[in-house]
A and B are shown apart, each in its own frame.
Chain A
Amino acid sequence: MVNAVLSNHWPHSCDERLVAHALECEVCCEVASIATLIHDDSERSRYEAHVPAAGQVWWRAAIRARLDSTQAATRPMTWLHGITGAAAIGVLLAAISAAWPMVMPMLDRGWAMAAGYFPSADAATAVANGVRLSAMLGLIAAAILLLAPLALYFALSDE
């Protein structure tokens, strides 16, 4: 029945018994009706459809393929940048943790030299704590200043 519809033989140019059966059988009636409707729409839509020329589709596909291959070629470089950035962050953190024990005695020595200038021991201790905190904050700020451009680069790149 579907074949008859698709070959435009339904209902007049096909077996009359088939048509008679379709009129009696609910399922076949439905199949014939739906198939006729969809096939008719498909046939007419084909004539109405506007498609771009083959050359145009080929040209767009060729350009797209070139763009895709360019992107694919730059992908390893982007990965390399990422790995370099991660390594730089690791080195920086390692340097900060390695330098911290050396910074502390230097601060203590500097404090010992400056302590004589303070009027009381409490004031000297408060200033010492402040200096230690400032040094830590300074190191964090320096790290952020170094990492921010890297972070921006990766955030704005497409990979």
Chain B
Amino acid sequence: MREFTLTDMERLGAFDEAERTFQMTEEAFRTFYELTARPVRVYLGRMTGDDRLADDLLQETYYRFLRSNVAFENDDHRRRYLYRIATNLVHDHRRRPHVEVASAVLPEPRYPAFTEPNLAERAARRIDLQRALSHLKPRERSMLWLAYALGWSHEEIAASIGVKTGSLKPMLHRARQRLAGLLKTGGPS
């Protein structure tokens, strides 16, 4: 394999070049990044179940975003496009040789109620949720997260994961039912 390395001078030149190559200035990027990085990192973390991989994919997501040639209509469009890149990266990664997410021995799951849980109960619920999510298909995870963590509309979710809007509602319903079932039983039967 031929390895490419950059000298210090080339690295310095890379910054000037970046301003021309990337679709936004460094200052605009900083503002956009501060607004989006944490939610995207959490999304990637939940989609992959692997913090290291999520960190790598976060960098890749922003790199691809910066290199994109899309004319964005507004910030929402920009944000949706970013999630679309992240979703595709997760799916691409899944298509490579499969790595099973390790499931730890976790406390007895419980179905959520409409009462305010205490801290310990909340932590237990989050662990249950992470475990249940790890048993869902990547697309189901994406749909549920975009719908209930980010509050996206069906149209936005459909565009992001690449399905027809009409198909999304039953898919989301099935995904929600599966997740509820997994939360009740504590795992796949």
Chain A contact residues, CB within 8 Å of chain B: 2-3, 5-6, 10-12, 19, 22-23, 30-42, 44-46, 49-52, 54-55, 57-67, 69-71, 156-159
Contact = CB atoms under 8 A, between A and B. Distances in A.
B18 A65 contact: yes
A96 to B, nearest CB: 32
Interface of B: 1-2, 4, 6, 10-11, 13-15, 17-18, 21-22, 26, 29-30, 33-34, 37-39, 41-42, 45-46, 55, 58-59, 62-63, 66-67, 111-114, 116, 122, 125-126, 129-130, 144-145, 147-151, 176-177, 179-180, 183
A23 B114 CA distance: 9
B22 A65 contact: yes
A32 B177 CA distance: 12
Contact of A57 (B15, B33, B148): B33
Given A34-B176, A46-B42, A63-B11, A51 B6 contact: no
A42 B63 contact: no
24 contacts: A2-B147, A2-B148, A6-B148, A30-B176, A33-B113, A37-B125, A38-B149, A41-B130, A41-B149, A44-B122, A49-B38, A49-B41, A52-B58, A52-B59, A54-B37, A55-B26, A61-B22, A62-B18, A63-B14, A64-B63, A65-B63, A65-B66, A156-B1, A158-B1
Given A33-B180, A54-B33, A66-B10, 6 more contacts: A34-B148, A40-B126, A54-B34, A60-B59, A65-B14, A70-B4
Given A38-B148, A38-B149, A66 B62 contact: no
A71 to B, nearest CB: 6
Contacts, number: 142
B149 A42 contact: yes
B103 to A, nearest CB: 17
Contacts of A3: 151
Given A5-B148, A42-B149, A51 B4 contact: no
- Return the 9 tightest CB-CB contacts between A and B, nearest first: A42-B149, A62-B18, A66-B14, A54-B33, A38-B148, A35-B148, A45-B42, A54-B30, A51-B37
